[in-house]
Structure 1
Amino acid sequence: MESLIGVIQAVCVGKSEPFICPGTYSAISKSSVRNEIAVYYEGLEGDEQADVHVHGGLDKAIHIYPFEHYTEWKDELRGPTTRFMSHGLFGENLSTLGLTEKNICLGDVLSIGNVKLEVTQTRQPCWKVNEKFRIPGLANLMQKTMRTGFYCRVLQPGLLASGHSIELTQRPYPNWPLERLLKLLYINPLDQQELEEVLTIRLVPRWKKLFEQRLSTQTIEDWTRRLSGQVPYERTL
């Protein structure tokens, strides 16, 4: 199975730097690179993550964000933030055209030149997005609109550059587009049938545990700290 599905608009990297709130750091500010850049199992050469407990690692080595979403955000985020709509603004490593949460499935294997990536999970946006854009609630809006972007593990290291074509070479779970997964994560989080079905496919350990807990307890994990930076409280549906 091989089909051309998209193209890289930009390859972006960033360093961990002091963030807006005292004592916090972030590498969400990323800039595009002009030349080819090496891709390792841990991610792009020169790229960093500030909090390795929730960012980076083999299962989240590369963050892809559809460039199509930028047009949608420009239409919705009126005001001074729209002038900063450039590649890497959402902290992505690869800004792409042709790949969205609607047409990419969990487990898809993407070939880009000599690099092979496997789609592992969607992004869970956090309060740092709100602070960067100075728009309260933007992280939550990313969830509701399902414009989160997604992560990949590196199956085969190599070189990447803007302009490289993206081919879909394997699709083990055609019934699980990322949009369906996002609906289960944020829109209908306690759908028992969907929870049972998602647990039949290969998931990263953290998500397997999350869905198992939802199914067994009929409660959802609290999102307060992630979305707003505040101390979480018990939340049930």
Structure 2
Amino acid sequence: MNLAVGLPEKMVYGEDREMMTAIRKVPVAEAYLSKESFEGDGVADKKHHGGRDRAVCIYPFEHYALWEEQFGQRLPAATFGENLTVTQMLEKDVFIGDVFQVGEAVIQVTQGRVPCNTIDRRMDMAPLMKAMVKTGFTGYMCRVIEEGAIRRDSEIRLVERGKGEVSVLYANDVNFHQSRNAEAIRRVLEAHALAPEWQDWLTKKLIKLTE
């Protein structure tokens, strides 16, 4: 597992364009995780990132090889701005509501990560963001149930399986590609641990479909 944190900083991309972003996180040996975020971690765009339901960002390490092969470029640690880079925790195998013990902390999966074009800008790898959305290989976000210290060698252990058995990959597919499938939307909404923002978004879609 890789553990990384970072605060917003100026990033130059494209033809000398600038933006504030915290995507360039730095590997650390240990960090304390509170309800809000890791100590030393932050976001620049608070409207679309961060908050208690998105306190931790996780990305499966297995996808790195796919993107490196597809784009012909080596990727540094925490390329996608994730806090935890993990193995054997793919989106198809992790469910909304899953509870994990990580070091001293306990976290719960709340939603798939919604990628933004900052990912393309960081590595100059457009259309990586579109490829992530197409495949659903976005990683996922978690809320913090119990605060505590996490080390890069901490074990990640499944404590409880999310009710409804809605995988992150399925939720991503519905959100990105099946926005007119009322039955699929209902199934995702049955995952009670789903982040309120996704609950509101999908509920509005469902109302429009069933009016």
CA separation in 1, counterparts of 2:18 and 2:67? 30
CA separation in 2, counterparts of 1:112 and 1:172? 17
- After TM superposition, the structure 1 = structure 2 runs for residues 9-158 of structure 1, keeping only pairs within 5 Å, are 9-20=1-12, 24-33=19-28, 35-78=29-72, 82-83=73-74, 85-158=75-148
The letter for the 2-side match of 1:204 is A
In the TM superposition, residue 36 of structure 1 has moved relative to its aligned partner by: 2.1
**Equivalent residue, structure 1, for 2:199:** 208
CA separation in 1, counterparts of 2:206 and 2:164? 23
SS in 2 for 1:12: strand
In the TM superposition, residue 163 of structure 1 has moved relative to its aligned partner by: 1.8
In the TM superposition, residue 162 of structure 1 has moved relative to its aligned partner by: 1.3
The letter for the 1-side match of 2:19 is T
The letter for the 2-side match of 1:213 is K
Q: Does 1:162 align with 2:157?
A: no
**TM-score normalised over the length of structure 2:** 0.91
Structure 2 gaps of 5+ residues are none
SS in 1 for 2:157: strand
SS in 1 for 2:57: strand
In the TM superposition, residue 95 of structure 1 has moved relative to its aligned partner by: 0.8
CA separation in 2, counterparts of 1:86 and 1:131? 14
SS in 1 for 2:145: strand
CA separation in 1, counterparts of 2:179 and 2:123? 27
SS in 1 for 2:153: coil
CA separation in 2, counterparts of 1:12 and 1:36? 9
**Number of matched residues?**
206
Stretch deviating more after TM superposition (21-30 or 121-130) = 21-30
